[in-house]
Amino acid sequence: MTTAIYPGTFDPITNGHCDLVLRAARIFDQVIVAVSDSSAKQPCFTLEERVGLAREALRGVEGVQVCGFDTLLVEFAQQRGARVILRGLRAVSDFEYEIQLASVNRQLAPDVETMFLTPAEQHAYISSSLVREIASLGGDISTFVHGSVERALRDKMGYNRSA
């Protein structure tokens, strides 16, 4: 069984993230969406909330598991028997940082490979931080995130659109 880990803060999970998971699920037997604690980033949602939102957004996708983690990524991957770390590249600006991470992870765990996927074109510009900013200003985020994520973000921001 080939297992891939798709790590991230997912604050919140977007349709771009979900697109990568759906495509990865066609390639790998199991995809573990690993939600990082990332307390240093001061996320909008708690780890438990982010895990719950990701589970809701990915409900029914065969071969996908969502869980939180607070350890070194390569150690988590090895504990889960994953041989691949999956990362998304939206733009050239992501490339340098992602290559740096992949190189460090290769030094720490030579048996774990990093694979890059690009999102579908309609999701290439979406980021969690952009979604949070739009939501905080009362903008429409319905095309960027799952409905449950939209509701949770609106509640968290203290803004509810009347539908």
pLDDT in tens, 96-127: 899 999 999 999 999 999 999 988 888 888 99
**Residue 52 forms part of a structural domain:** yes
pLDDT in tens, 129-160: 999 999 999 899 999 999 999 999 989 888 66
Counting the structural domains of the chain, the total is 1
What local confidence, expressed as pLDDT, does residue 160 receive? 61
**Residue 132 forms part of a structural domain:** no
Share of the chain above pLDDT 70, in %: 97
What local confidence, expressed as pLDDT, does residue 163 receive? 45
**Residue 144 forms part of a structural domain:** no
Q: Which domain holds residue 104?
A: 3-124
Q: Is the dihedral of CA 139, 143, 144, 149 positive or negative?
A: positive
Q: Which residues are catalytic?
A: 17, 41, 90, 128
Both structure tokens of 100: 């740096």
Q: What is the mean pLDDT of residues 21-34?
A: 97
